[in-house]
Structure 1
């Protein structure tokens, strides 16, 4: 086979271990997955009720335009319907953007550590990549500007950032956008937008009139609790969306996913509840880390990146043996840390108890 040469340098995505796999491996009856930033409260009850009674013509292709969902999102964000692009999760939209704009002749800029799909797709398209390391836990936007050259096509901004959870202040973001040339697409990936509680935060969709070269990514996989349906969307100028639609596969979102996302938009109270519960538990993690002198990134998401004693893989394995699946920082570009999805009060109690045992064991082994 005549594969692209770059594929020899890329490894396939390796998913985390499933709860059933961990149960069997460690002979456990109860395992809590806190590794993929899913919503521990599930989805809205109205969505669950809808799913129990929904009847759909399985033999008919999906509405490739997502007509009803498109209209509701346009109303929610006060934009034209032509300003919305749907994807099979935000991952597919990142692939669409990369395929539309990147090749071996162009250049792209992104933060590191951050969501790995930016670099993954850029490498496949053969683009020249500049990765800008975080500075003081945040995007170094000044270095982003300095890295721009005449071949730069896309700048990726993850806000809040994954895996650190850090947020770019409104003033810094707007100042940055003012300095980016208008012919460069700035992708603002806001998968965790619904979890942000910092008052110094901007809804980037409201910036579209001032900065028509931005594209805002959102998803139903996180706060809406619909990760299994793979439903993401982008909001941007109709001109940008039109070009991206030329790359998008027809019928890329299935009928059930579109219907469920449409229903989920009706329940703002559920999102408000999840945000409040998440913030309460996020403060709990912050206090836990502070009291024990453990560094934890300042998060505005539904996960925390917390320092561990010793190797991150070893800490992850220790927590697995206690029934908690977390993500090792060794796989995220943050060695010495683990990423923990913020669960329910009960789930977090168990995780923090296991973490305390880990700390105690490390202290005893060093004595």
Structure 2
């Protein structure tokens, strides 16, 4: 490590992205590879968004409108909030980073669950702040213990709902009890990247909490993204919703032109295509149920989820399954890399890809059974 590097940076762990289809094809000499590892929308972006991307391609020599007024006005209309309540980022990841850079001093604390989205921890450590991790309880946030963990050093609490990698949510009753315990000077950040996939009536919608006068004294931030159901992960665009008092210092930290013009136009067009969003929701629900049912018959246990991925318990080592599936052209995310050894995270894909996955799992199980039989005979 370079000697002049900040000490907290020296201790950071580098993010390791999942394998790409091209890498796996080349390594194993495969013609077909199905990626079910990164929770993308298998239907892709809205056709309207694609057209917007094409239409704007010739204009990319011009800097974006740094205020991003058009998208903010569209979001304001869609979500029934004020223009001044919105900040944009290069993915919601960047909004998380901006929050950390704006509010965390060395020695401050954040409280978060574990396992959950690792960027919260990463950003805290980048700012030389301390991380208090509260283990999940039955794969869900243990909000009682998270509230008990808050001290006078706590600046931010991060709540991922639906949670990545488990797909679980926090309920309205749970979050109201939690907020009643949180001091008014602590920022409560709700990461709702998968909110459009939620079906439960008990889901604690952070945007509704933010708009509820009952919680006016609380510092609530809602994070959402165009990477998941909108299918714009490659364009990197997300947003945060909170009070102008919190937006103002974040805007001082945000770099100008942090969202590119193509992403801006595609996001506006995507919001206009309600049909594509509903189609994506329905397809996810149908295929999620298929995978849960089929995997159960094969000896796997898929937990209930409110997202577009499954947290699945494997009957054998998740890293072994990861390797064996990859050799057959399936990429998933082993739980050992996510803090859940013995499990794996599986994106709900297209109908044909989900059936291809199940066929390959059947092949692996048959091969393992044959290998076990041969070992016994020998």
TM-score normalised according to structure 2 size: 0.94
Q: Any conservation in 1 of the 2:56–2:265 contact (CA below 8 Å)?
A: no
2:274 to 263, 268, 273: 268
The corresponding residue for 1:157 is 159
Aligned 1:160-175 pairs, distance under 5 A: 160-175=162-177
Q: Residues of 2 paired with 1:285 and 1:58: CA distance?
A: 42
Q: What's the secondary structure of 2:65's corresponding residue? A: coil
Instruction: Sort the Cα spacing of 1:55 and 1:348 in 2 relative to 1 into closer, same or farther, 3 A.
Output: closer
Instruction: After superposition, give the CA deviation of every residue in 1:270-311 in whole Å (9 maximum; x if it has no partner).
Output: 111101110111111221233344222221111111112322
Residue 321 (structure 2) pairs with residue 315 (structure 1): yes
Q: Tell whether 2:218 aligns with 1:216.
A: no
The one of 49, 52, 74 aligned to 1:50: 52
- Say whether 1:340 aligns with 2:342: no
Q: Deviations over 1:93-147 (max 9, x none)?
A: 1111111111223111001000000101111111121100000110000000110
Pairwise CA distance, 1:336: 1.0
Report the equivalent of 1:23: 25
1:184 maps to what in 2? Answer: 186
For residues 1-367 of structure 1, the aligned pairs below 5 Å read 1-54=3-56, 56-209=58-211, 210-211=214-215, 212-367=218-373
1:55, distance to aligned residue in structure 2 (A): 5.0
Deviation at 1:181, TM superposition (A): 1.2
Gapped regions of structure 2 (runs ≥ 5): 374-378
Query: Cα RMSD (Å) of the superposition?
Result: 1.4
State whether residues 298 and 362 of structure 2, in contact with CA within 8 Å, keep that contact through their aligned partners in structure 1.
Answer: no
Q: Distance in 1 between matches of 2:239 and 2:157?
A: 18
Q: Unaligned stretches of 5+ in structure 1?
A: none
Q: Give 1:169 deviation, angstroms.
A: 1.7
Q: 2:311 aligns to what SS in structure 1?
A: strand
3-state DSSP of counterpart to 1:269: helix
Of 129-138 and 98-107, the range deviating more from structure 2: 98-107
Counterpart-to-counterpart distance in 1, 2:318 and 2:371: 17
Q: Residue 327 of structure 1: CA displacement?
A: 0.8
Alpha-carbon deviation of 1:56? 4.6
Cα drift, residue 8 of structure 1: 2.7
TM-score, normalisation: structure 1: 0.96
Count of paired positions:
367
